[in-house]
């Protein structure tokens, strides 16, 4: 593995972590909006931590829903925090989000009655988050076992431009 490839894979892993943090932040905003105003509609968030969706899934009500949504949110935050030092937590976040997506898809067929632009945006963001997490996990898997002593420096390609070639031609004459 070259140094450049290792940097690209590390950047993809960090991009997955950043996406996880952003999703967690928007989920927190959704939870706070639902708690204080009764509405929550940011599409870039975990669906299962939405209070309305939890009410539909569990048939619970009241403060228990907010505690359950907060616990789910805390797990996502811990996955983000711990994935900096223990990379398997990115895989755990991916698995949790896959369960979240499965519950979201199940909710589509049993809860939704129509498709609107916001709904399509929610699906698009679910796919985006999933792809970012998958990319982060794949990068982690490929970086596993990389020995820093075995890294190969990338050779610099020679610069061959027409101006350099013209100067060389005039020097030869």
For residue 16, how far is the Cα from the chain centroid? 4
Residue range of the domain that includes 145: 3-172
122: confidence class by pLDDT, cuts 50, 70, 90:
confident
pTM of the model: 0.75
Question: How large is the greatest C-alpha to C-alpha distance in the chain, in angstroms?
Answer: 89
What's the pLDDT tens digit per position in 15-47?
999 999 999 998 888 888 877 776 666 677 787
Tokens at residue 64, please?
């228990």
Sign of CA dihedral 165, 166, 169, 171: negative
Distance CA 46, CA 24 (A): 7
Q: Cα-atom radius of gyration of the chain, to the nearest Å? A: 23
Domain count of the fold of the chain: 1
Strands of 90-138 (E only): list them: none
Supply the pLDDT for residue 40: 64
Q: Per mean pLDDT, which range of 7-11, 76-80, 169-173 is the poorest?
A: 169-173
């Amino acid at each position: 593995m070259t140094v450049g490839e290792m940097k690209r894979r590390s950047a993809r892993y960090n991009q997955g972590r950043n996406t996880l943090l952003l999703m967690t932040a928007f989920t927190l905003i959704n939870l706070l909006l639902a708690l204080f105003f009764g509405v929550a509609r940011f599409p870039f968030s975990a669906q299962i931590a939405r209070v309305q969706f939890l009410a539909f899934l569990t048939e619970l009500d009241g403060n228990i829903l907010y505690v359950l949504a907060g616990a789910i949110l805390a797990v996502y935050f811990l996955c983000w925090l711990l994935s900096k030092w223990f990379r398997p937590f990115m895989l755990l976040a991916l698995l949790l989000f896959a369960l979240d997506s499965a519950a979201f898809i199940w909710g589509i067929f049993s809860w939704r009655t129509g498709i609107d632009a916001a709904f399509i945006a929610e699906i698009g963001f679910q796919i985006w988050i999933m792809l970012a997490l998958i990319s982060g996990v794949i990068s982690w898997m490929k970086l596993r076992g990389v020995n820093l002593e075995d890294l190969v420096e990338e050779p610099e390609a020679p610069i061959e431009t027409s101006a350099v070639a013209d100067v060389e031609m005039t020097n030869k004459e």
